[in-house]
Chains A and B, each alone.
Chain A
């Protein structure tokens, strides 16, 4: 088999063996419905309780503040719609940012149609929200601020503690989408002052289709999924026991070797950034140089388009992603890249390489060697490049 290098860990991660091992018994041997009172059921119930304790501990929450969901998007939807409908007697105004995940943005757009009002904060060239603008955006009827912990495309980490302080001082609920941050940044919800937080399993070497919403004790929100009495009557549906067990195992592993994991990712990230900058002309790092996820590299490569770059990289076994319109199935380039002020050309020419626990030094060297000739080949084909090279 030809060499394959996976550098799209922000899209999803492979399940770790220990996670799979922890999950397997819950598919057959220990298959009981957690709501059943006999032994089969109690075994499953215990497995969920144990998982809840582990997830809670990993973010310094209490176990009864963790609610399992069907993933990050559900958590975002629940937090935002739940707060909106649960607090509409207090107000109808929500504040978020222009660079949120679509699970947040499209939920907010939906709520606008339902009569809520939403302020979308702009961000600076690094993707950071401005705290002064946030303060000024808060109105007497503001009920929720939802700002992501770290951005999935450009990796920028927001000043979460400061944002939470502002929200708390105005008695406005604060939700953060920490799907990318969880497992990559140490999170202490008490110390940071977070009211609601979305997390997901498959970004941290756990299974797809499992997530959680942290809901601080006392926070009032409506239910999203109605039905049975699961999750303390707040999220109906028979629990995804293998998924939940796998999620907890993944969280446990992530927090066991946390510092090592961060060191490994950061060093590979910086090596990749430096290597590509040195070998390729006319490239720009998107996002913040230091306030960024340890595994995130995002470059705009001038004069070429992202999808043709991805296809070419795929031919040499490298898997990564782009903010180009042509890769999204929509007609516009990434809203995140446009929000940090990139031109259309630069947004179309973006390349995101995200590093994870299974990435090696050799993988990084492979990319540093493979990418420059591909870029050069595509540039030789580009009518935008000839103008630059024309003067030589």
Chain B
């Protein structure tokens, strides 16, 4: 059901762990839905120089976390904010429809960490307007299962 790329990232996730004294931390999801993603960023001169994650969740939650960290490492904060869940899913050669919410969660985790950075440093970024990291994200797409 998962692509080889998803399995590869699940079995060998990139950037797992924590950053000591990070410049930004974001956490999204909740145990109720079975996924929690926490993302740590090191940001220098508006560039993400290091990123680590910890995830409680299914295989695709771990794979999307891993892929998202790879995709934003070395990017500017603004570039990272432009990362879409679709881009993460495509980079993994697709996700099963019921697992698309994991890619949404990965996008939200990046946003949430950058929100923390922006708040701490009094910065404004395009794409953060109206973002509320504490909001219950309805990232589960209630689909066709009954």
Q: Are A and B associated in one complex?
A: yes
A: residues with CB less than 8 A from B are 303-308, 311-312, 315, 324-327, 329-331, 333, 343-345, 348, 380-384, 386
CA distance A303 to B31 in the complex (A): 10
For A380, list chain B residues within 8 Å (CB). 16
Asked if B13 and A343 sit within 8 Å, CB to CB, the answer is no
For B11, list chain A residues within 8 Å (CB). 312, 315
In the complex, which residues 7-51 of chain B have their Cβ closer than 8 Å to any Cβ of chain A? 7, 10-11, 13, 16, 18, 27, 31-38
CA distance A315 to B62 in the complex (A): 16
- Cross-chain contact of B54 among A330, A331, A348, A386 (Cβ < 8 A): A386
B: residues with CB less than 8 A from A are 2, 7, 10-11, 13, 16, 18, 27, 31-38, 54-59, 61-62, 98, 140, 142, 145-146
6 nearest interchain CB pairs? Answer: A326-B58, A307-B58, A383-B38, A383-B54, A345-B31, A348-B34
Asked if A383 and B145 sit within 8 Å, CB to CB, the answer is no
Q: How far is the CB of A103 from the nearest CB of chain B, in Å?
A: 14
CA distance A290 to B76 in the complex (A): 59
**Would you mind naming 26 contact pairs between A and B with Cβ atoms under 8 Å apart?**
A305-B61, A307-B58, A307-B59, A308-B10, A308-B58, A308-B59, A311-B2, A311-B7, A312-B11, A324-B58, A325-B33, A326-B57, A326-B59, A329-B145, A331-B145, A344-B31, A345-B31, A345-B56, A381-B16, A381-B54, A381-B56, A382-B55, A383-B38, A383-B55, A384-B31, A384-B56
Asked if A331 and B33 sit within 8 Å, CB to CB, the answer is yes
Asked if A381 and B31 sit within 8 Å, CB to CB, the answer is no
Q: How far is the CB of B83 from the nearest CB of chain A, in Å?
A: 20
For B32, list chain A residues within 8 Å (CB). 344
CA distance A380 to B13 in the complex (A): 12
Asked if B58 and A304 sit within 8 Å, CB to CB, the answer is no
Given A344-B31, A386-B18, check contact A305 B58 (CB 8 Å): yes
CA distance A312 to B12 in the complex (A): 11
- Cross-chain contact of A331 among B31, B62, B142 (Cβ < 8 A): B142
For A383, list chain B residues within 8 Å (CB). 27, 36-38, 54-56
Q: How far is the CB of B90 from the nearest CB of chain A, in Å?
A: 21
CA distance A303 to B38 in the complex (A): 14
Given A304-B56, A308-B57, A331-B142, check contact A384 B33 (CB 8 Å): no
Which of A303, A327, A331, A382: most chain B CB closer than 10 A?
Answer: A331
Asked if A326 and B34 sit within 8 Å, CB to CB, the answer is yes
CB-CB nearest in chain B for A346 = B31
CB-CB nearest in chain A for B7 = A311
Q: How far is the CB of B142 from the nearest CB of chain A, in Å?
A: 7
Using A326-B59, A381-B13 as known contacts, list a sample of 14 further A-B pairs with CB atoms less than 8 Å apart, ordered by residue number in A: A305-B34, A308-B59, A308-B61, A311-B7, A325-B34, A326-B57, A330-B146, A331-B145, A333-B34, A344-B31, A344-B32, A348-B34, A380-B16, A381-B54
CB-CB nearest in chain A for B96 = A329
Asked if A344 and B56 sit within 8 Å, CB to CB, the answer is no
The secondary structure that dominates the B interface is: mixed
CB-CB nearest in chain B for A326 = B58
Which of B7, B16, B98: most chain A CB closer than 10 A?
Answer: B98
For B145, list chain A residues within 8 Å (CB). 329-331
Q: How far is the CB of B25 from the nearest CB of chain A, in Å?
A: 10
Q: How far is the CB of B84 from the nearest CB of chain A, in Å?
A: 23
CA distance A386 to B17 in the complex (A): 10
- Cross-chain contact of A348 among B10, B31, B142 (Cβ < 8 A): B31
For A330, list chain B residues within 8 Å (CB). 145-146
Q: How far is the CB of A10 from the nearest CB of chain B, in Å?
A: 21
CB-CB nearest in chain B for A384 = B56
Asked if A329 and B98 sit within 8 Å, CB to CB, the answer is yes
CA distance A321 to B35 in the complex (A): 18
CB-CB nearest in chain A for B98 = A329
CA distance A97 to B30 in the complex (A): 29
CA distance A331 to B10 in the complex (A): 21
CA distance A324 to B56 in the complex (A): 12
CA distance A333 to B7 in the complex (A): 23
Asked if A331 and B55 sit within 8 Å, CB to CB, the answer is no
CA distance A345 to B13 in the complex (A): 22
For A315, list chain B residues within 8 Å (CB). 11
Q: How far is the CB of A354 from the nearest CB of chain B, in Å?
A: 21
CB-CB nearest in chain B for A386 = B54
Asked if B58 and A331 sit within 8 Å, CB to CB, the answer is no
- Cross-chain contact of B36 among A308, A324, A327, A384 (Cβ < 8 A): A384
Q: How far is the CB of B110 from the nearest CB of chain A, in Å?
A: 15
CA distance A307 to B1 in the complex (A): 12
Asked if A343 and B31 sit within 8 Å, CB to CB, the answer is yes
For A304, list chain B residues within 8 Å (CB). 56
CA distance A127 to B7 in the complex (A): 35
